[in-house]
């Protein structure tokens, strides 16, 4: 009986110790943010030719003629280093819909052919736009500034955000007379791709007939990163 009684006394002690061992550690959670601004080194310009005609073959032929002239002019303006590729082609009927209902009337056909021009020489942006619009293009869907090495800029933003988070942890721990025991978790958040800066196409069409090349200012691209850091802390050794 005494042996059984002793075992019963030990059970509550074991339960208390288990509860104490599972208690969460003291921690500090901070968030570091970084914003890196860099100049773009690449630009993409979407150039389109749209033609309309009563018959589809006429709309297709007119479009091919104008786009051929546009591409030739573009290549002369930007040189052999530019990358030009087709982005889309469409042929669709045009209908006139009557206000009182009834069967729509077929008016003709529309053909649109869009190519994307990628340049690494940003000084040629204005010349490329002017060459395209003056030789047959009637659509500039906007331009987008990007970076050739996006990963390097993203890594820089992450490093700066992590250092800021680490610095905040050290300040808090020192102020509260605590020491950092270990890192519990690290979470990062940053854009998967570098955001681009679109520019409206209407400005290009207005400037196409000007004597001076169309002025374009690339500006800068902002790359943001956020690092959330959680560390375990304990009392300073005395």
Which of 146, 171, 186 is where one domain is finished? Answer: 146
Its pTM surpasses 0.85? no
- Does any domain span residue 200? no
Q: Is 18 contained in some domain?
A: no
99: domain range? 42-146
Provide the CATH number for the domain around residue 46: 3.30.70.2970
Note whether residue 2 is domain-resident: no
Q: Is the pLDDT of residue 19 over 60?
A: no
* pLDDT tops 70 at residue 66: yes
Whether residue 1 lies inside any domain: the answer is no
Q: Residues, the chain, total?
A: 238
Torsion angle, alpha carbons of 147, 47, 203, 217, to 10: 20
Question: Residue 11: its pLDDT value, please?
Answer: 36
- 120, 162: one domain: no
Write out pLDDT tens, residues 189-201: 876 555 555 554 4
Same domain, 110 and 174: no
Indicate if 221 and 139 belong to the same structural domain.
no
> Strands across the sheet with 178-189, in order?
27-38, 221-235, 178-189
185, part of any domain = yes
pLDDT, one tens digit per residue, over 106-146 is 999 999 999 999 999 999 999 999 999 999 999 998 889 99
Lookup: tokens for 21: 């061992």
In 11-138, beta strands by DSSP E: 27-38, 42-53, 83-96, 105-119
Residue 129 and residue 189 in one domain: no
pLDDT number for residue 176: 92
Contacts of 152 (CB under 8 A, 6+ apart): none
56 and 72: one domain?
A: yes
């Amino acid at each position: 009986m005494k042996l059984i009684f002793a075992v019963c006394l030990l059970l509550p002690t074991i339960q208390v110790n288990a509860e104490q061992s599972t208690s969460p550690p003291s921690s500090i959670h901070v968030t570091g943010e970084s914003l890196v601004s860099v100049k773009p080194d690449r630009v993409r310009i979407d150039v389109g030719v749209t033609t309309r005609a009563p018959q589809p073959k006429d709309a297709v032929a007119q479009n091919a003629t104008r786009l051929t002239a546009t591409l030739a002019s573009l290549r002369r303006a930007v040189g052999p280093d530019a990358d030009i590729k087709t982005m889309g082609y469409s042929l669709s009927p045009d209908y006139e819909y009557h206000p009182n209902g009834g069967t729509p009337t077929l008016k003709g056909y529309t053909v649109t052919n869009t190519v994307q021009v990628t340049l690494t020489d940003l000084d040629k942006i204005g010349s490329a736009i002017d060459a395209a619009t003056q030789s047959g293009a009637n659509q500039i869907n906007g331009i987008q500034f990007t970076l050739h090495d996006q990963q390097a800029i993203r890594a820089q933003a992450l490093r700066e955000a992590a250092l800021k988070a680490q610095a905040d942890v050290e300040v808090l721990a020192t102020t509260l007379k605590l020491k950092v025991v270990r890192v519990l978790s690290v979470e990062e958040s940053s854009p998967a791709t570098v955001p681009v800066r679109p520019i409206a196409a209407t400005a290009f069409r207005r400037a196409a007939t000007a004597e001076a090349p169309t002025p374009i200012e690339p500006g800068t691209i902002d790359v943001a990163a956020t690092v959330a850091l959680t560390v375990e802390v304990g009392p300073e050794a005395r």
